[in-house]
């Protein structure tokens, strides 16, 4: 029985309990595993996942089991990350940032890159997956920032519009539309 909590994977990863206290998670691979399971299109086969995450380990399945157990401990539940293929199935009262990107109440300004600066030492397959997912999520975040900037302009919240437009330019300095929005928001302010 668990009373909420937070899984944060956008920016420096963290698992927070209901009181906002950070729960210890050892090793980059555990975060890699959590991201991989949460963002998977379908439940993941244990053996394939073990090889992907622990390519240099003598006992990849054992390492995977250890990682899953440590994540369940941090989440204070035994009801998730079970089975083969591995089911994510997290309780509804756990707030998971990567699954809320399209929600209105999501704080788009706080969204960092997937897994922050972590570069887990996994297989080339995982490295490629992470690269693709980081780009996909960055695209969603940047689109949301543009939408929110335009929305802020339309309700004449010039401070927010300018702040968001600056964030858009910082995130993607080569995006012309980000610069146009910044100039427009500054002109309106």
Q: Say what the alpha-carbon torsion angle 78, 42, 6, 123 is, to the nearest 10 degrees.
A: 90
pLDDT the model gives residue 82: 92
- Given a cut of 50, the residues of the chain with pLDDT beneath it are 1-2
pLDDT the model gives residue 3: 57
pLDDT the model gives residue 91: 85
Do 111 and 71 contact (CB within 8 A), yes or no? no
pLDDT the model gives residue 2: 45
pLDDT the model gives residue 104: 84
Do 141 and 171 contact (CB within 8 A), yes or no? yes
């Amino acid at each position: 029985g668990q009373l909420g909590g937070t899984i944060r994977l956008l920016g420096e990863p963290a698992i927070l309990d209901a009181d906002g206290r950070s729960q210890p998670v050892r090793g980059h691979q555990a975060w890699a595993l959590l991201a991989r399971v949460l963002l998977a299109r379908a439940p993941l086969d244990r053996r394939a996942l073990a090889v992907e995450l622990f390519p240099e380990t003598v006992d990849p399945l054992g390492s995977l089991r250890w990682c899953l157990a440590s994540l369940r401990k941090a989440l204070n539940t035994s009801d998730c990350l079970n089975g083969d293929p591995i089911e994510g199935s997290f309780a509804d009262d756990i707030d998971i940032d990567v699954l809320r990107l399209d929600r209105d109440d999501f704080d788009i300004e706080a969204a960092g890159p997937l897994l922050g600066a972590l570069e887990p030492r996994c297989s080339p397959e995982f490295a490629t997956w992470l690269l693709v997912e980081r780009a996909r999520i960055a695209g969603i975040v940047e689109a949301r920032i543009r939408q929110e900037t335009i929305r802020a302009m339309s309700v004449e919240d010039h401070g927010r519009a300018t702040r968001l437009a600056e964030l858009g330019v910082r995130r993607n300095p080569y995006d012309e539309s980000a610069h146009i929005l910044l100039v427009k928001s500054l002109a309106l302010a």
